[in-house]
């Protein structure tokens, strides 16, 4: 029998703050396959996430097969907008939600991982990070600052993580990020430069696959997932309509689940996909293949 076996491997999943999004689903799938999981959480959400875990609010969603439970080997503060602590503005470093977390930068996380687990502590890195402060604004109304913020948080953060974490990878290491079809098709309502950021993320996936593959022997792939009504996605404002529209128009009409994306991620991050790199894999019930909409009640 051909199984995904990640026993003995350690995965970092950056961008987990609750149990509703793709990041959590991927972490759960990796743990199901036997990996140990550490997560990076945005500092303003860190205490809330820790309290949810402490109070047992996530116990049901953490259940794995065989009576096992998803346990996080480590939970670290991470604001991937900053490569180093010194790069963060003073008002961020002294903010009450940041000041007690220590070094929350990408470089800070790298140092903590090495301190806690040794010189090469990682086999897997998942980039489940995206933010656009003006996502509800049409692109034509977006400010330069809002546009650049979206690209910085959602795309350059992958470049920085591959740059700094590739040396931490053991042989066979693999990176994975999450994109969305707005990178290549117009999705009204997905604004503020976020569509541009996803296009950059996909382009960077290909270039990083070549550069990091030649330099460090790691793989870099990306999943283009369909819309999911997660807490983070509700910032878009029309996510429920988007989910319904895709379900009505995709070749497979049952709504996409986070678990399906998690399972696809586990495959791409496992030795079973050792020949795959520089690839964007669609996990969207086939919606990306459609060239004409099916009649919809929504008119969205």
In the residue annotation, 190 being an active-site residue is answered as yes
**According to the 3-state scheme, what is the secondary structure of the chain?**
CCCCCCCCCEEEEECCCCCCCHHHHHHHHHHHCCCEEEEEECHHHHHHHHHHHHCCCCCCCCECHHHCECCEEEEEECCCCCCCHHHCCHHHHCCCCCCCCCCCCHHHHHHHHHHHHCCCCEEEEEECCCCCCCCCCCHHHCCHHHHHHHHHHHHHHHHHHHHHHHHHEEEEEEEEEEECHHHCCCCCCCCCCHHHHHHHHHHHHHHHHHHHHHHHCCEEEEEEECCCCCCHHHHHCCHHHHHHHHHHHCCCCCCCCHHHHHHHHHHHCCHHHCCCCCCEEEECCCHHHCCCCCCCCCCC
Q: Given the residues 147, 180, 245, 287, select the one marked as catalytic.
A: 180
Single out the catalytic residue among 190, 210, 216, 287: 190
Q: Compute how many other C-beta atoms are within 10 angstroms of the C-beta atom of residue 122.
A: 24
CA distance 69 to 31: 9
**Sheet-wide strand order for 280-283:** 72-77, 36-41, 10-14, 122-127, 169-179, 219-225, 280-283
Is 22 part of the annotated catalytic residue set?
A: no
Whole-angstrom Cα distance, residue 10 to residue 71? 12
Give me the active site residues, please. Answer: 180, 190
């Amino acid at each position: 029998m051909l199984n995904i076996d990640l026993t003995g491997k350690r995965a970092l999943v950056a961008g987990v703050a609750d149990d509703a999004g793709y990041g959590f689903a991927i972490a759960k799938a990796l743990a199901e396959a036997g990996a140990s999981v550490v997560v990076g959480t945005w500092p303003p959400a860190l205490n809330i996430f820790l309290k949810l875990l402490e109070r047992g609010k996530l116990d049901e969603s953490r259940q794995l097969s065989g009576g096992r439970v998803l346990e996080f080997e480590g939970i670290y503060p991470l604001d991937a907008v900053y490569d180093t602590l010194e790069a963060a503005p003073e008002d961020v470093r002294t903010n009450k939600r940041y000041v007690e977390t220590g070094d929350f930068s990408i470089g800070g996380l790298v140092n903590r991982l090495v301190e806690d687990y040794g010189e090469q502590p990682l086999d897997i890195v998942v980039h489940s990070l995206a933010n656009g402060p003006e996502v509800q604004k049409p692109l034509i109304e977006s400010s330069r600052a809002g546009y650049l913020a979206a690209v910085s948080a959602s795309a350059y953060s992958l470049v920085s993580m591959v740059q700094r974490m590739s040396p931490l990878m053991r042989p066979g290491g693999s990176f994975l990020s999450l994109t969305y079809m707005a990178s290549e098709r117009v999705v009204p309502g997905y604004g503020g430069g976020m569509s541009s950021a996803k296009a950059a993320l996909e382009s960077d996936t290909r270039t990083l696959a070549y550069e990091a593959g030649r330099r460090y022997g790691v793989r870099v792939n990306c999943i283009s997932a369909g819309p999911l009504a997660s807490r983070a996605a509700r910032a878009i404002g029309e996510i429920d309509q988007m989910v319904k529209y895709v379900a009505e128009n995709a070749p497979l009409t049952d709504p996409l689940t986070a678990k399906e994306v998690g399972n696809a991620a586990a495959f791409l991050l496992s030795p079973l996909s050792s020949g795959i790199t520089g690839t964007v894999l669609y996990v969207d019930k086939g919606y990306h293949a459609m060239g004409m909409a099916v009649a919809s009640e929504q008119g969205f």
